[in-house]
A and B are shown apart, each in its own frame.
Chain A
């Protein structure tokens, strides 16, 4: 069964450093997403991406965040200057169509980011 993959599974970084989280969405999917989940809290939407551009973003997704699809398979989330409060599990997801039409968003296993 096709699945979303993410690397690394765990990333430890120092405050102020840049990190890039990587995702490989399911191959025939057109919509890509990043969500985060701070430990013990709910899953929060960050950004959605379609046709090589951001289609929607939340208030969390400020100027320190960026996304890119550098080639035909990878989808990345960059955090330019990490803060302690960026420590969370970051989930990548992809879908064939928009969730509003009840198309499932498939989630990857997540990258646990720890900022020290």
Chain B
């Protein structure tokens, strides 16, 4: 079983749409959770950390369900510039190693 699982997509949505991505993780000892964004052939960049109470950053909302080992990302009012691959990332302890999911590709069309 993969440690961090994501639907690879692609999700094709029109501008202005709301889109949600899900992620599940297998290690119940996972401690920290993040969403990264990766543009084609570029480095991953942190989009937001995910907190137990859920958190919002502008058009982006992240939720964590520890009991179900499930993380979500909601993007409202999609922009063309949101087109990218969204990576679900966890750490297993207070350590260094980021464990990445395979990513979900989003394509926002005019």
User: Which A residues contact B (CB, under 8 angstroms)?
Assistant: 31, 33, 35, 41-45, 48, 50, 55-56, 58, 89, 91, 95, 98-102, 104-105, 107-110
B22 at the interface (CB under 8 A from A): no
User: Which B residues contact A (CB, under 8 angstroms)?
Assistant: 31-32, 34, 38, 41-46, 49, 87, 91, 93-103
Q: A35 to chain B: closest CB distance in Å?
A: 8
Assuming A42-B103, A43-B100, A45-B99, is B43 touching A100 (CB within 8 A)? no
Assuming A101-B32, A107-B44, A108-B43, is B97 touching A58 (CB within 8 A)? yes
Contact indicator A41/B102 (Cβ below 8 Å) = yes
Point out the residues of chain B lying under 8 angstroms from A100, CB to CB: 31-32, 91, 93-96
Set A42, A45, A107, A108: member contacting B97, Cβ < 8 A: A45
Set A35, A41, A43, A56: member contacting B95, Cβ < 8 A: A56
Identify the closest chain A residue to B102 (Cβ).
A42
Bound Cα distance A34, B19 (Å): 32
Bound Cα distance A56, B94 (Å): 12
Pairs A-B, 3 closest by C-beta atoms: A100-B94, A48-B96, A107-B43
Bound Cα distance A79, B98 (Å): 22
Q: B105 to chain A: closest CB distance in Å?
A: 11
Set B87, B98, B101: member contacting A99, Cβ < 8 A: B98
Contact indicator A98/B87 (Cβ below 8 Å) = no
